[in-house]
Copies of this chain bind each other. A is one copy, B any other.
Amino acid sequence: MSKHEKIGPEVESSLINADAQVESFRQTRNNRRTELVEDYVELIADLIEDGGEARQVDIAQRLGVAQPTVAKMLKRLISEGYIQQRRYRGIFLTEAGQKLAELCRERHHIVESFLCSIGVSPETARIDAEGMEHHASAETLEAFKAFLARATPPRRVAGQA
């Protein structure tokens, strides 16, 4: 810590291991950097599936941002290899983009379903899932899935004992 060292037993009130906490915050900051990319890719996949194409204006409208903001972001997506773009033409997902979109969709769906399953209303689940999905680690997602499987015995077809 600071000047007056305090290396003692540590009261451990709410202060956990410092290094661990740093890691949490670091991870959260990193997640934030990739959140937008994921949102874009997921949305683009949805738009293409739904209407055969994803235009900047539609993306902008869906995200609630201005078109130039989308244009700038698309450049980033291109440089990161998730989409391809032909000037004044459409946007296409690359292999990597499709893979990422698939992942995001599944994750999104798991989180949203999970929230619903514990009694959150669909509208709130949608909103909260939008924010939470990017912070759910693989382990947490597995736990969600396991819970869903337990809590939603579809009939009893996919028998689990």
Question: A residues touching B (Cβ–Cβ < 8 Å)?
Answer: 1-2, 6, 10-11, 13-16, 18, 20-28, 31-32, 39, 45-47, 49-51, 55, 57-58, 61-64, 105, 115, 118-121, 123-128, 130-132, 134-137, 139-140, 143-144, 146-147
Interchain Cβ contacts under 8 Å between A and B, 16 examples: A1-B51, A1-B55, A11-B50, A13-B46, A18-B61, A20-B126, A22-B62, A23-B64, A24-B131, A28-B131, A32-B32, A118-B144, A120-B139, A120-B143, A128-B136, A132-B135
For A136, list chain B residues within 8 Å (CB).
Answer: 128, 132
Closest to A45 in B: B14
| Contact in complex: A130, B20 (CB < 8 Å) | no
For A124, list chain B residues within 8 Å (CB).
Answer: 137, 139-140
